[in-house]
Copies of this chain bind each other. A is one copy, B any other.
Amino acid sequence: MSPADPRAVDPRASVGRATMRDVAALSGVSLKTVSRVVNHEAGVSPEVRDRVTRAVAQLDYTHNVHASNLRRTSGRTGTVGALLQDLSNSFSASLLRSIEDVARDASTAVLAGSLDEEADRERVLVKDLVSRRVDGLVLMPATSRQEYLAGELRAGLPVVFVDRTPHGVDADSVTVDNLLGARQATQHLIGHGHRRIAVLSDLVEIETAAQRVRGYREALAAAGITSDPALERTGLRTAASAEHEVRTLFREGPAPTAIFAARNDLAAGTARALRSLGLSHEVAVVGFDDFPLADLLDPPLTVVRQNVTQIGAEVGRLLFSRIAGDTAPPRRVVIEPTLVPRGSGEIPPR
């Protein structure tokens, strides 16, 4: 107990936080002994342990995991990164939540970030997370190629791609069969008699979006329907732009009898446009990706559902098995989406 240390006299006078040194000084033991107590190591007499514990409480000491990890042999930080598209969107949010649940079981914290399809942001944030020495990384990439990750992968950083496959590097991924889902959606509409089917899609630079458009075209081709480029509206980033686009379609033509909205918020925009046009019950709509309340729209929205919880759990499982040391060749998990008919997709053509 050194009276020279102001903290030993009055804990509140502390400038920064108390360290093991302070605890050691106050309890009159060595640094190493404090470490032993804090880490619940054996070989400390109950009496000393008690003295240290009291000092810890008195000084409001809290362990500094960064200093600890620096010295520790394991090299783990107990942190993973999750860089998704937009944390406020229900798909990314649900994904994050599932990852968080797996992480919690592994006593790991999650650093989360939104990429908003900005390639530069991805590179910057990945670099940042590597600097923070995350034990692993979940990535819904905004870049078209990820060669920049090669060094990290070689250094042993576990990376799991989600929703989109890696390009230029080999890594684990969990994706949905977008081609299949888009075919299902389009076939469903064709099966209900539609031949003039429009598709609304995100930027085709995004792999997922491109595949959905391809699935749409394949389904049309398979049914012997010539596709009309004027019915393909791509590059739509927001619900509002989808709404605008649908209005344009019906004002200027060529008016479709059905719409495949290849992302959830584009389906929402479509529903808004159709309602304002009074066509909600005239034009069929199938959306890609389910969302809360889709069943409560008027008419209830038929969607191709991706099981987000399953995807997230799969991502988490893969990531933590890699972190645990699994060095098997990269796995590419592909999950099959399912079509959920609810009403909007079963409207017949006029």
Contacts and interface: CB of A to CB of B under 8 A. Distances in A.
A111 B111 contact: yes
Contacts of A86: 97
A283 interface: no
A60 B132 contact: no
Contact of A155 (B17, B87, B90): B17
Given A109-B111, A112-B112, A60 B155 contact: yes
Interface string A124-138: 000111111100000
B112 A110 contact: yes
Given A90-B90, A296-B298, A298-B298, A70 B66 contact: yes
Interface in A78-96: 79, 86-90, 92-94, 96
Contacts of A110: 111-113
Contacts of A271: 296
Nearest to A110: B112
Contacts of A298: 296-298
Interface in A4-57: 12, 14, 16-17
Choose among A12, A104, A292 the residue with the greatest number of B CB atoms under 10 Å from its CB.
A292
Given A70-B70, A293-B293, A96 B100 contact: no
Given A109-B132, A132-B109, A62 B154 contact: no
Copies in the complex: 2
A342 interface: no
B87 A93 contact: yes
A295 to B, nearest CB: 7
A114 interface: yes
Q: Which of A64, A93, A128 has the most CB of B within 10 A?
A: A93
A3 interface: no
A291 to B, nearest CB: 8
A324 interface: no
A104 to B, nearest CB: 8
Most buried by B among A14, A113, A152: A113
Nearest to A59: B151
A321 interface: no
Nearest to A112: B112
A146 interface: no
A248 interface: no
A272 interface: yes
A96 B87 CA distance: 7
Interface string A193-235: 0000000000000000000000000000000000000000000
A268 B17 CA distance: 47
Contact of A132 (B66, B90, B94, B97): B66
Contacts of A292: 90, 265, 268, 291
Interface string A287-320: 0000111111110000000000000000000000
In order of increasing CB-CB distance, the 8 nearest A-B pairs are A298-B298, A88-B97, A93-B93, A60-B151, A66-B66, A65-B131, A112-B112, A88-B94
